[in-house]
């Protein structure tokens, strides 16, 4: 199963894609429902992300093996 947040991210892909909507909560809600009903063998998250390094080239596909999850719950505490 291929998953994407927005239809604009998968233009020309030519596959059945589960659209979840933007954000972790939307993705979790839609994916859990889909997994329970369909029991897919694998899930590929297909989408776009902001460029955060000069080593990352726009238009290339990268396999992400590790990421850092940050929760921005109270920005005032951080002085931001």
pTM above 0.75, yes or no: no
Residue 45 three-state SS: strand
Are the C-beta atoms of 44 and 9 separated by less than 8 Å? no
Q: Which H or E element spans position 30?
A: helix 24-38
Residue 20 DSSP code: -
Give the chain's mean pLDDT: 78
The whole-number pLDDT of residue 36 equals 95
pLDDT above 90 coverage of the chain, percent: 20
Low-confidence ranges of the chain (pLDDT < 50): none
């Amino acid at each position: 199963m291929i998953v994407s947040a927005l239809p604009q991210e998968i233009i020309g892909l030519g596959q059945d894609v589960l659209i979840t909507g933007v954000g972790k909560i939307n993705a979790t809600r839609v994916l859990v429902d889909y997994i329970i009903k369909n029991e897919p063998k694998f899930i590929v998250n297909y989408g776009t992300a902001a460029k955060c390094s000069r080593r990352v080239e726009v238009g290339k596909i990268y396999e992400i093996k590790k990421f850092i999850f940050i929760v921005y719950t109270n920005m005032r505490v951080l002085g931001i």
